[in-house]
Amino acid sequence: MDIDLSGRTALVSGSTKGIGRAIAARLGRAGAAVVVNGRNADQVAATVRDLAGNAGPIRGIAADLASAEGAARLFDELPKVDILVNNLGIFGPRPVLEIDDDEWRRYFEVNVLSGVRLTRHYLPKMTEQGWGRVQFIASDSAIVIPDEMVHYGMTKTALLAVSRGYAKAAKGTGVTVNAVIAGPTHTEGVEDFVAELVGADLPWDEAQRRFMAEHRPNSLIQRFIEPEEIADMVVYLSSENASATTGGALRVDGGYVDGILP
């Protein structure tokens, strides 16, 4: 499928590594002008250097989007975008009875409110021009709540509701809003997470096999998804080809969710 995003500006929150970085790279390869975001200015600059020359132009904006102040700084530098990918998120194992109020709030601020703030700002501008794409990177954990990180699952469930609600707000405008349900994905942070659960001394292939068998036995591919596989879905949803796909929760989960819908 030939996807050309030339002339479109795309913002990917939390895009200095992992899924966000892969999304930024793939959108740039399709011709979009990509804005990379992260909290650390050095990491943002390094990502921009690494992805420069990929295809479309690329720039970076360092801002902590988990705060209203950080979002306001971003809006000052980037008033308008055509494609918004709400990717920013944190995760980590914690017994549910040990999660205190501050931790619940932190996960909600980072994983949910960051995307709410960005969408609330950019969506009206998209509807005014009659075209736009908004995506929330959700997770299989939104549906199959993992017992080792209920707080993370809660935030991803919230994203399904938020994305559906914003899709209704954009009804009939030419703007689409969707959630992408990412399955267990091979990123830097995930390797650390797996090591915590199955042992830090195991080679990656063995650690991955044990983690899937013990903690994600429902996966039909029995391996971690590569970030580029998630990014390919995001690029499609960002294109003209996906003009009739909105209000959805699209799965790139390796068959992990044991159900037909979503």
Active site residues: 152
Distance of alpha carbon 144 from alpha carbon 157, whole angstroms: 10
DSSP for 166-187 reads: HHHHTTTTTEEEEEEEE-SB--
Q: What's the start-to-end Cα distance of the chain, in Å? A: 24
- For 222-254, letters b (16+ CB in 10 Å) and e give eebbebebbbbbbbbbbbeebeeebbbbbbbbb
Cross-strand pairs, 35: 11, 59
Which are the contacts of 113, defined by CB distance < 8 A and separation ≥ 6?
Answer: 66
Distance of alpha carbon 153 from alpha carbon 139, whole angstroms: 8
